[in-house]
């Protein structure tokens, strides 16, 4: 069985700073997107269940800077992936999904797995777009996954109910954080990771569907609302009314 795990070297939004209302993206550290880490963990658990000879994991990362992404890819290899490739792209979802699909088509595969969204965009587009490019079924928002004979059984976490579906290989699934608790690689695994196959490729020229014209941080201003009531009960009532008026409740 061949599993392809898609990982993104996402901007660590917890460390994002701004200068004159403009996010300083170039100086912000990157990390493996949290939900992609869950996806890779699930792929490794499948490999551990069936054995190294039965399951191989390939990691694909699309990045605008392979050097910055290198440590993140090595971390994925340390977690249990067998090989990895970084594709220089990251133009937009249309361009990147085509680049990923082109790389996946080069070999036979059974299962593609990724997070249902990334920590720096939350668009939830990449998984479905890649599946569309490859012409395979996609199962989104998976919080439980079981590999059966030539197919998968997945539990989907929807807004107010759960749905259980079965899909034959090849297929793509996007996972939620509830699916597992990702591991932290041991020192020995980190050392071995650098000896695993890892290549960097240039994405072929292709269509770009999105052009970013400007990027600014949302403006944050205090309302400075003042409640002048000596009676506590009246003050609470006025506070509630103010919150309703501001759309906070």
- Separation CA 93–CA 220 (nearest Å): 29
Contacts of 13 (CB under 8 A, 6+ apart): 28, 119, 120
pLDDT surpassing 80 at residue 106 = yes
pLDDT of residue 212: 64
Contacts of 232 (CB under 8 A, 6+ apart): none
Mean pLDDT confidence for 173-192: 92
pLDDT tens digit sequence for 63-75: 888 888 899 999 9
Query: Domain spanning 2-202: which CATH class is it, in words?
Result: alpha beta
Beta strands in the chain, from DSSP E residues, in sequence order: 2-7, 9-11, 18-19, 22-23, 30-32, 56-63, 83-88, 111-115, 138-148, 151-157, 162-168, 171-175, 198-202
Domains of the chain by residue range: 2-202, 219-249
pLDDT surpassing 90 at residue 120 = no
Going by C-alpha positions, the residue among 131, 8, 129 that lies closest to residue 62 is: 8
pLDDT tens digit sequence for 213-231: 666 666 667 777 778 787 8
pLDDT of residue 216: 64
Mean pLDDT confidence for 90-103: 85
- Separation CA 47–CA 53 (nearest Å): 9
Give me the torsion for CA of 182, 158, 118, 1, rounded to 10°. Answer: 60
Tokens standing for 85? 């490739």
- Separation CA 140–CA 137 (nearest Å): 10
């Amino acid at each position: 069985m061949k599993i392809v795990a898609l990982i993104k070297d996402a901007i660590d939004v917890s460390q994002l700073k701004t200068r004159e209302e403009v996010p300083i993206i170039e100086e912000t550290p990157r990390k493996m997107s949290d939900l992609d880490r869950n996806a890779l963990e699930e792929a490794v658990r499948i490999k551990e269940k069936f054995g190294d000879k039965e399951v191989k994991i390939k990691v694909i990362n699309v990045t605008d800077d392979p050097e910055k992404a290198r440590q993140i890819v090595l971390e994925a290899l340390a977690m249990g992936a067998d090989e990895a490739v970084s594709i220089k792209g990251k133009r937009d979802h249309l361009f990147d999904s085509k680049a990923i699909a082109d790389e996946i088509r080069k070999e036979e595969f059974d299962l593609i797995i990724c997070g249902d969204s990334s920590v720096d965009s939350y668009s939830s587009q990449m998984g479905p777009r890649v599946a569309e490019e490859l012409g395979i079924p996609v199962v989104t928002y998976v919080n439980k996954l079981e590999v059966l004979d030539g197919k998968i059984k997945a539990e989907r976490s929807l807004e107010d109910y759960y749905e259980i579906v079965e899909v034959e290989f090849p297929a793509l699934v996007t996972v939620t954080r509830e699916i597992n608790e990702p591991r932290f690689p041991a020192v020995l695994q980190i050392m071995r990771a650098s000896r695993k196959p890892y290549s960097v490729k240039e994405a072929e020229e292709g269509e770009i569907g999105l052009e970013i014209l400007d990027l600014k941080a949302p403006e944050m201003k205090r309302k400075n609302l003042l409640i002048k009531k000596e009676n506590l009960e009246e003050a609470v009532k006025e506070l509630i009314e103010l919150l309703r008026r501001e759309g906070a409740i």
